[in-house]
Every structure is written in C-alpha cells, then in structure tokens.
C-alpha cells in the first residue's frame, strides 16, 4: 500500500517530506483500458479468477439495482434516490474486502454497497421510499442505518471500533463518506479519535468530485483528501476509485492493519458522480457535459469487463447468468416496490423509548382514538 504519511520515511528536507512522499497520483492496478499493470503480485487474492468473476457479477447486479431505483423514482415509487452509478468499484470493492463480522457505516448514496452486503433491496430502499427510516436490522447485517447528516456517522465507526478493540474482538469498522463530508467537523474529530485510540477503523472517502453542486476545488485547497491523514498521524492512501481491484486491495490491507492493531486508515477513492445529486437536482446548472464525457470511458464495470474478456475468464455462460440475476433483481424490485407499502401509525410511538414516557402513551392513545373515530365514521357512512 502507498502509505502517504510516514514521518520516518522523510529526509526530504521538509518537515514531513510533503512533496516527495505525498504523491497525489492515485494507486491503480487496472487502468481505464482494462489493462492490468504489473505492480500487483500475481498471488493477490483479488486476482483469483473466481474472485474476479464474483466481483464483476456483484457490479453487474449492483448497477442494475441502481438503474432500477432511479427508474422507480420517475415512476413515483421512491421519494428520492441518490444514484451511485459509476461508483460501483467503491461501493462493491470496499464491501467485498470486508468480513461479514465487520461493521460498515453507509451514507444515503450507498444503497448498492448495502445490497452487496446481502440486505434485501426493498429493505435497503425503505428510507427512500419513506415507509420508515431504516428498513433493515443493523445488528443482523452489521450495517449502521444510512446516515444523512454528513460525516456524523464517522465518529460512530471510531467508537464501535474502539469498543471492539476493548472487547478483544477482531472486528473492523468501515465508514463511507463523500468529498463534501470531509469538510465537516465530525469527520476530523472521528479521524483524530480513531488515531489517538488506534481504533480498527477505515474511513473510506468516495471523492466523486461534487457535493451536490459544489466541486472539490471549492471544498478543499489540499492536493489530495488523503493528505488529511498526515495531520492525524495515520496511514492515508489515494486510490483510483474506478479500479475495483485496487479498491479491494487497499481496503483489505487497511483491514489487515486494523486487525493487527496498527490503527486506522484514511482511503480517498477518486471517482465521479455520473448522475445528478438526486432526481431533484439539475447537474447541467453547474457542470459541463464534456466533463461527464471524460469520465464515461473510465467506467469501473466496463474496464473490468474488458480485462475479463481479454483474459478469457468471462464466458458467455457466466455473463448470461449474471445478467439473468440482475434482471431477476430488477423484476423483484418492480414487483415489490410497486406495491403501496403498509404503514402502521402505532410505529410513530412504538420505538422512541425503551421506557416510554406517560406523555407519549397519552399521545399514542389520542391518535388511536382519532383513527378509531374516523373509521367508525367511514363505516357508518358505508352502512347508510
């Protein structure tokens, strides 16, 4: 791994060897043409044929999920959907490099990673459909509820990782965050706490170049977001976020370091948000189409596919199975998200407290009486 911040490797004449060690060019193994650089050792687990095919399959399914979710917003079945189209190498690579016992902390843009974890697509989209806030059981999936206030989940990941360390478990926590989130105070406090406690946590920044409309240049003056690791005394690495092999390798090594008691890692994955922020956003107001065109050939799925085809691993049969699985998922989403979800008004009060206040019980009874009265009225009218 390119450990950017290693004070003992300086010797440049500058305090931290800033211009010599902090090379901001991202680590890349699989280039945009689908060619594998010779840097990665042949025995890297990410290069095992079955692993490569499983990764590709997850990306095909993940992308189909994303496209289907976007469609369902247009059909009015979801309130909103922040697409991660084009960020599949991050969404999927990071998750595949973790163990099932590891925790991860997604944001609202990370549905694809949740589905990759195994969470039911309908449960993953509960928040965005609006029938509840978190639709899945976080304990079962070791997945925190999707976080909306930017970077506020990062200190949770640090805390959970510290707890795991104190408990003597080898659990690792991974927190996703965007480039915009790195400006939030909680991001910095989380990095600092994690470094001070040497907590087994990975902060994975998907630098997709935009925070809604604000480009990275207005978010930071730093040459790389990964450089922020230096100030906290932790390892930082900048990786090509559209190279799923490099992403997996970097996360796997960060997790190994964390498990070995070597503390947290900051990963900056350089990628691009191909779609607007959400369906409610108009990206033409703040970026040129030429910029989007630049990124299209750098697509993470296409480059892996090119590599797999060139190396003869991706047969028609394998491709057919994956596409079938993706279509089955889309069909399932259409069917189950097409139905109006059932909601229960009693849920408004049910989960607020373990020990509900008398005031809340009174309000719950009041709402129930209102609803009962309305139903009685309706029945009365029907009976007339």
Partner 1 sequence: MTATLDAARKTAQNTEISLAQAVNRALRDAMTADDKVVVFGEDVGVLGGVFRVTDGLTRDFGEQRCFDTPLAEAGIMGTAIGMAMYGFRPVVEMQFDAFSYPAFEQIASHLAKMRNRTRGALPLPVVVRVPYGGGIGGVEHHSDSSEGYFVATPGLHVVTPATVSDAYTMLRAAIESDDPVIFMEPKRLYWSKDVLSTTGPEIGKAAVRRAGADATLIAYGPTVSTALEAAEAAEAEGYDLEVVDLRSIVPFDDATVCESVRKTGRAVVIHEAAGFGGTGAEIAARVSERCFHWLEAPVRRVTGFDIPYPPPKLERHHLPSVDRILDAVASLQWEDR
Alpha carbon 173 to chain centroid, angstroms: 13
Q: Which residues bind partner 1 (CB under 8 A)?
A: 103, 132-134, 137-139, 144-145, 149, 152, 154-164, 166-167, 171, 173, 185-186, 189-190, 192-193, 196, 347, 350-355, 357-359
Whole-number minimum distance, CB 271 to partner 1, in Å?
26
Residue 133 or 218: the one with the smaller Cβ distance to partner 1 is 133
Q: Looking at beta carbons only, is 290 or 354 nearer to partner 1?
A: 354
> Rounded to the nearest whole angstrom, what is the least distance from the CB of residue 144 to partner 1 in the complex?
7
Is residue 192 within 8 A of residue 229, CB to CB? The reply is no
Instruction: Point out the catalytic residue in the list 156, 273, 298, 303.
Output: 273
Chain center to CA of 281: 20
8-state DSSP, 227: G
Residue closer to partner 1 by CB (options 35, 166) is 166
Known catalytic membership, residue 63:
no
CB of 197 to partner 1, least distance (A): 8
Helices (H) and strands (E) in the chain, counts: 16, 7
Among residues 109, 249, 277, 303, which one is catalytic? 277
Residue 279 to residue 83: CA distance in whole angstroms: 9
- Gap between the Cα atoms of 31 and 298, Å rounded: 8
Residue 33 annotated as catalytic: no
3-state secondary structure 307-336: HHHHCCCCCHHHHHHHHHHHHHHHHHHHHH
Least gap, CB of 133 to partner 1 (angstroms): 4
In this complex, which beta carbon is closest to partner 1, that of residue 49 or of residue 366? 366
Report the alpha-carbon distance of residue 252 to residue 94 in Å, rounded.
Answer: 8
Tokens of residue 246, six digits: 């490099």
As measured in angstroms, the least distance from the Cβ of 138 to partner 1 is 5
**Residue 139 φ then ψ, to 5°:** -70, -40
Query: Active-site residue among 286, 287, 334, 336?
Result: 286
Q: Tell me whether residue 273 is one of the annotated catalytic residues.
A: yes
Nearest CB to partner 1, comparing residues 23 and 362:
362
Give the active site residues: 273, 277, 286
């Amino acid at each position: 791994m390119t450990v950017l911040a290693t004070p003992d490797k300086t010797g440049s004449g500058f305090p931290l060897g800033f211009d010599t060690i902090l090379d901001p060019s991202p680590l890349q193994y699989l280039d945009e043409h689908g060619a594998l650089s010779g840097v990665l050792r042949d025995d890297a687990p990410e290069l095992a044929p079955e692993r490569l095919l499983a990764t590709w399959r997850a990306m095909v399914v993940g992308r189909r999920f994303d496209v289907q979710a976007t469609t369902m917003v247009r059909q009015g079945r979801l309130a909103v959907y922040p697409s991660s189209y084009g960020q599949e190498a991050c969404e999927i690579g990071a998750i595949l490099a973790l163990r099932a016992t590891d925790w991860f902390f997604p944001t609202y843009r990370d549905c694809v990673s949740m589905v990759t974890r195994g969470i039911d697509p309908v449960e993953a989209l509960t928040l965005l459909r609006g029938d509840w806030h978190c639709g899945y059981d976080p304990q079962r999936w070791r997945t925190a509820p999707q976080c909306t206030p930017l970077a506020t989940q990062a200190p949770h990941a640090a805390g959970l990782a510290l707890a795991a360390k104190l408990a003597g478990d080898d659990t690792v926590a991974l927190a996703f965050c965007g480039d915009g989130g790195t400006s939030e105070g909680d991001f910095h406090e989380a990095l600092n706490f994690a470094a001070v406690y040497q907590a087994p946590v990975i902060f994975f920044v998907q630098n997709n170049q935009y925070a809604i409309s604000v480009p990275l240049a207005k978010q930071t003056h730093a040459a790389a977001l990964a450089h922020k690791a230096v100030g906290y005394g932790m390892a930082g690495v900048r990786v090509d976020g559209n190279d799923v092999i490099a992403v997996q390798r970097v996360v796997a090594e960060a997790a190994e370091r964390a498990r070995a008691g070597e503390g947290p890692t900051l990963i900056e994955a350089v990628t691009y948000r191909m779609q607007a922020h959400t369906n409610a956003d108009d990206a033409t107001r703040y970026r040129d189409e030429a910029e989007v065109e630049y990124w299209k050939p750098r697509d993470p799925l296409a480059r892996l596919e090119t590599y797999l085809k060139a190396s003869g691993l991706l047969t028609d049969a394998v491709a057919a199975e994956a596409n079938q699985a993706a279509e089955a998922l889309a069909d399932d989403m259409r069917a189950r998200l097409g139905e109006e979800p059932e909601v229960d008004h009693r849920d408004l009060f049910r989960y607020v407290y373990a020990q509900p206040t008398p005031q809340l019980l009174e309000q719950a009874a009041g709402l129930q009486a209102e609803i009962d009265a309305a139903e009685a009225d309706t029945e009365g009218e029907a009976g007339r």
